[in-house]
Amino acid sequence: MIEYPSRRALDRLIGWMPILLLAGLAALTWWLDAQVQDAGSRRDGNARHDPDLFAQDVRGVELDEAGRAVQTLAAARARHYPDDGTVEFDDPRFVMTQPDRPKFTVQADRARVTGDRERAYFEGNVKASRAAEKAADGAGAIELATESLEVIPKKDRAVTDRPVTITEPRGIIRATGLVLDNEAKTATLRSEVRGTFSPPRR
């Protein structure tokens, strides 16, 4: 039987949620580790990959200096693992809304953020989208579907070596392997590329 933390512990965790997102996960990991250490002696088996804290209905927002949301993460459940500092999420939805860059959204069945907060791995029914630069013509808009996607927030990049289906205004492309660079606004397909395109409108 899984034991959930007290209401007070959950309230404290939720208070930290605004800095949860990837760039701010360092603070959350520190807090979680501090809770375990403050409890006194560590339980036997702590070296195993067992979660030490749980949260439900997670939502966090990272703001820039102007108070604008630049990263948002929502998930049905979250688990922290003290042995390597990773955090796992169920039903995550991650949104990047950085100024002067297209909005980038990822959702999946589950996700894992590494202990150094440098990478996030989305698994199962992964769907990602990059918004159009200009709403009028839809230029640059991309939607993709795959089973595994690695997101590197500091580089504003998403990578997969799995089969991927890409839908964009001109048609549908299928390939194996993709590097999506949101900063450079490019998508590089690695192999087995095939697809159909509609002729440009005149």
**pLDDT of 165-202, one tens digit each?**
989 888 899 999 999 887 777 878 899 989 887 765 55
Angle of helix 7-16 relative to helix 25-38, nearest 10 degrees, comes to: 150
In a domain, 104, yes or no: yes
Is pLDDT at 119 greater than 50 in this prediction? yes
Q: Domain holding 78: CATH number?
A: 2.60.450.10
Is pLDDT at 52 greater than 90 in this prediction? no
Is pLDDT at 112 greater than 60 in this prediction? yes
Is pLDDT at 53 greater than 90 in this prediction? no
Residue 154 is which amino acid?
A: K
**Token match 């991927």: residue?**
164
What are the backbone dihedrals phi and psi of residue 33, each rounded to the nearest 5 degrees, phi first?
Answer: -65, -35
In a domain, 1, yes or no: no
Query: Which is more confidently placed, 131 or 172?
Result: 172
- Which whole number is the average pLDDT over 16-43? 45
Give the model's pLDDT for residue 25: 46
Number of helices and strands in the chain (H, E): 2, 11
Q: How confident is the model at residue 93 (pLDDT cuts 50, 70, 90)?
A: very high
Is pLDDT at 124 greater than 90 in this prediction? yes
Domain that holds residue 100: 7-39+52-197
How many percent of the chain have pLDDT more than 70?
70
SS3 content of the chain, % helix, strand, coil (to 5): 15, 50, 35
Query: Which is more confidently placed, 92 or 183?
Result: 92
What are the backbone dihedrals phi and psi of residue 153, each rounded to the nearest 5 degrees, phi first?
Answer: -60, -40
Q: Using DSSP, state whether 144 is helix, strand or coil.
A: strand
* Least confident stretch, 40-54, 141-155, 178-192: 40-54
Q: Which residues pair with 158 in a beta bridge?
A: 151, 180
In a domain, 18, yes or no: yes
Structural domain count, the chain:
1
The CA-CA-CA angle for residues 103, 104, 107, to 5°, reads: 135
Average pLDDT, the chain: 76
**pLDDT of 23-36, one tens digit each?**
344 444 444 555 55
- Which whole number is the average pLDDT over 128-152? 79
* 87, HSE (Cβ side, Cα atoms, 13 Å): 31
**pLDDT of 74-88, one tens digit each?**
999 999 998 888 999
In a domain, 109, yes or no: yes
In a domain, 61, yes or no: yes
Query: Which is more confidently placed, 38 or 110?
Result: 110
In a domain, 179, yes or no: yes
Nearest-angstrom CA–CA distance, 79 and 131 = 30
Nearest to 59 by CA among 117, 98, 20: 20
Residue 26 is classified by DSSP as H
Give the model's pLDDT for residue 28: 46
